[in-house]
Amino acid sequence: RLFGNNHSWAVNSRYAEYHRAAQARWRPSPGATAEDKAAAERFRQNGYEVFLAPASIPTTRLQALQTKVDGLFESQHNGYPITEGLYRMYDGLELVPEIVDFIDPHLEAAVETYYCSHFKIFGVYFYRTVPTPKKPESSFLWHLDNCPQQEMKLMVYLDDVKTDTGAIRLKTKQLSDQVRAKGFYDRGVPEFQKELDRPETT
In the predicted model, what is the mean pLDDT of residues 63-71?
A: 97
Q: Are 144 and 185 in contact (CB under 8 A)?
A: yes
The per-residue pLDDT for range 7-49, each reduced to its tens digit, is 999 999 999 999 999 999 999 988 899 999 999 999 999 999 9
The per-residue pLDDT for range 140-187, each reduced to its tens digit, is 778 888 889 899 999 999 988 887 777 888 999 999 888 888 888 777
Could you say which DSSP state residue 53 is in? P
Beta bridge partners of 143: 186
Whole-number Å distance between alpha carbons of 51 and 106: 10
pTM over 0.85: yes
Q: Are 92 and 125 in contact (CB under 8 A)?
A: yes
